[in-house]
Amino acid sequence: MDTGNPIKLLSDLVSIDTQSFKSDLSLINYLSNLFKNFETYTQDYTDREGVEGKNLIVKIPGSESSKSIIFICHIDTVPVGENWSTNPFKLVEKNEILYGRGVCDTKGGIASLITAVLSLKEQPKYDTYLVFDGDEEVYSAGAIKFLENFSIKNPYFIFLEPTMGNVMIGQRSLLKLTVKTSGTLIHASQATPEINEKNNAISKMANILDLLKKDAEEIFKTKDEILGSTTQNFGIISGGTAINITAQSCILKLERRMLTTLDLDKEFERLSNLIKSIDPSAEVILDGSAPGFSTDKNSTLVKECLSYSQKKYINAKIMAFDAWSEAGLFHSLGPVIIIGPGDLQNQAHRVNESVSKKKILDFVEIFKNIILNIKL
């Protein structure tokens, strides 16, 4: 294999199907062979759907062991979907653009990083780890497994995600709720405003929607320089069975992307109490929560990585990561940033997923500079 060619390496990575509902063992075996001359170990896990996975951790000893650089690379992809113009598991190049599932999120960045590591002619400045994990697109089972009994000294984390070369220093926390209201079946001819208020589950939910909108408007007023503000989305709502009877049940699913200054547990409790203040019989269910992170923009990790990225992309800047990533699970252990080739908004998770060939090549040099020259 030509380990100095990131495009050939990316072609191999794309050809191995690691859609999020499938096992990643084939790709882990491939990577294990690539790093057979390095210090490695694996961790077995099983995700919530019963799919078996495995993490691969590679260590490259540095000239200093007082601090550690840890690259976190998720190897799973979202499902392929339909109506691709090309075979999603065959890397295709057209006009300097590369197409295939995962080329943007995040096999392209992984190809750049592996090429950088395998081409090193000297020892890294600090102990450097590459963590290849799976299930990031669903439950983060791989990352959770890696964090069990974590003992690496003074870690600095770099997460590979598509950022167009910008250095992402924060992401908002995530809170997902289901709200259920209940009512009584009454003929529509009797559905006066008073009857609806007391017996129509949809009317009750309408009041809750108004309350949550007003609450979100207040919270939205609090701004963060990097993260922006808390947002709220009513994603799914359903209720009732016919237009001639009042609704016996109504279900709302909502999501809030919250500033990291808000405590997830306390926010869930506050919202639950708020909803029950106007409908004591309402059921509020926590569907899931995930922590965000915020890294000091003046930290050495941020400044150093930004400087190396700006050598290739003069307009690279500090930003917030709009989506959620596993980085939020690690922020309590050490400084965290997100960086990588590709465009999250316009290329990731799409049919005909793509990435610029030039950016894959650029990031070989960016990652090599970080590994060899970063000063923490």
pTM of the model: 0.92
Distance of CA 278 to the CA centre of its chain: 35
Domain 6-171+292-373 has CATH 3.40.630.10: yes
Helix (H, G, I), strand (E, B) or coil at 59: strand
User: Which fold does the domain 173-290 belong to in CATH?
Assistant: Alpha-Beta Plaits (3.30.70)
pLDDT of res. 3: 63
Give the neighbor-by-neighbor strand order of the sheet with 97-99. 92-94, 97-99, 354-356
Q: In b/e form, how buried is each residue of 164-201, taking b as 16+ CB within 10 angstroms?
A: bbbbbbbbbbbbbbebbbbbeebeeeebeeebbeebbb
Q: Compute how many other C-beta atoms are within 10 angstroms of the C-beta atom of residue 112.
A: 26
Chunked into runs of 10 residues, the chain (376 residues) has average pLDDT values of 83 97 96 97 94 96 95 96 96 97 97 97 96 93 95 96 97 97 96 94 98 97 96 97 97 97 97 98 96 96 98 97 94 97 91 96 98 95
Give the neighbor-by-neighbor strand order of the sheet with 231-239. 231-239, 249-258, 173-182, 283-290
Alpha-carbon torsion 102, 104, 105, 111, what sign? Answer: positive
The answer to whether the CB of 162 falls within 8 A of the CB of 112 is no
The full set of domain ranges for the chain reads 6-171+292-373, 173-290
Alpha-carbon torsion 139, 140, 141, 142, what sign? Answer: positive
Instruction: Please tell me if the domain spanning 6-171+292-373 has the same topology as the one spanning 173-290.
Output: no
- Of 24, 30, 31, the residue nearest 46 (C-alpha): 24
- Of 260, 261, 209, the residue nearest 239 (C-alpha): 209
Q: Which two tokens stand for residue 308?
A: 């190396």
Helix (H, G, I), strand (E, B) or coil at 287: strand
pLDDT of res. 165: 97
